[in-house]
Each structure stands twice: as structure tokens, then as C-alpha cells.
Amino acid sequence: EAGVTQFPSHSVIEKGQTVTLRCDPISGHDNLYWYRRVMGKEIKFLLHFVKESKQDESGMPNNRFLAERTGGTYSTLKVQPAELEDSGVYFCASSPGQVLGPASWAQYFGPGTRLLVL
């Protein structure tokens, strides 16, 4: 079974540019999450999709960040325009939906996209 994949693995852009990160969850997982780790700080939750709907976007830092999950499959996270403080590692995770018990607890993480804004 393929795991969570993220693209690109690294991205270096200049301040003011736009970057789009992509996440492909494990096939069949209804839940998709975005997290990020800014240098030297904790991993912070950004938002949670259930299928194509945003269940919780309380962690989105501001309106420069736009997340979508069209069709309930892969998701994109666009940063426009990027600022220096957006640099960090962006993680995507997925988990099964509608499964009760321990199987629904685990979130499966992707390798992350390392974003550097210069």
C-alpha cells in the first residue's frame, strides 16, 4: 500500500512569489490534515479535510494560505504571496474515516515539503 506522498520535496522561492504544495493521501482515507513546522518550533496543525470539506481550519495562519481538496482525493496548499516567516516544513497526514476504534486513531504522515522563502 502506498503511503502519503508530498510534492515537491523541497521548494525555494522568493518573497512575494506563489508556491503550491501537493499531498496525495493513502487511497481511501477520508481524513486529510496539513501541519507545518517552522524552524525551531513545534509542529502546528493547519487544517483538516473530511473528504472535500474543510472540517477544521483553525490553524491556518492568514488568508495568504489556501487549501483545497477537490473530489476528496489529493489536496493542495497554496501560499500567495509567500513571506519569509512561511519557511518551514509542511507535513500532510491522512487517516481512515468512519472507522471506529484504534484504526481511526493513527495519522499517517508524508515526508513533508521543505519550503524556503528568501
Partner 1 sequence: AQTVTQSQPEMSVQEAETVTLSCTYDTSESDYYLFWYKQPPSRQMILVIRQEAYKQQNATENRFSVNFQKAAKSFSLKISDSQLGDAAMYFCAYRFKAAGNKLTFGGGTRVLVKP
Closest CB 16 distance from partner 1, rounded Å: 30
Closest CB 63 distance from partner 1, rounded Å: 20
Binding segment for partner 1 (CB under 8 A), chosen from 19-27, 42-50, 68-76, 79-87, is 42-50
Burial annotation 32-53 (CB, 10 A radius, 16+ → b, else e)? bbbbbebeeeeeebbbbbeeee
Q: 92 or 117, CB closer to partner 1?
A: 92
Neighbours of 14 (CB within 10 A): 10
Spatial distance between the Cα atoms of 116 and 98, rounded to a whole number of angstroms: 37
Q: 87 or 95, CB closer to partner 1?
A: 95
Let me know: does 77 contact 110? Beta carbons within 8 Å.
no
**Would you tell me which residues interact with partner 1 (CB under 8 A)?**
3-4, 31, 33, 35, 41-45, 48, 55-56, 58-59, 91, 95, 102, 105-112
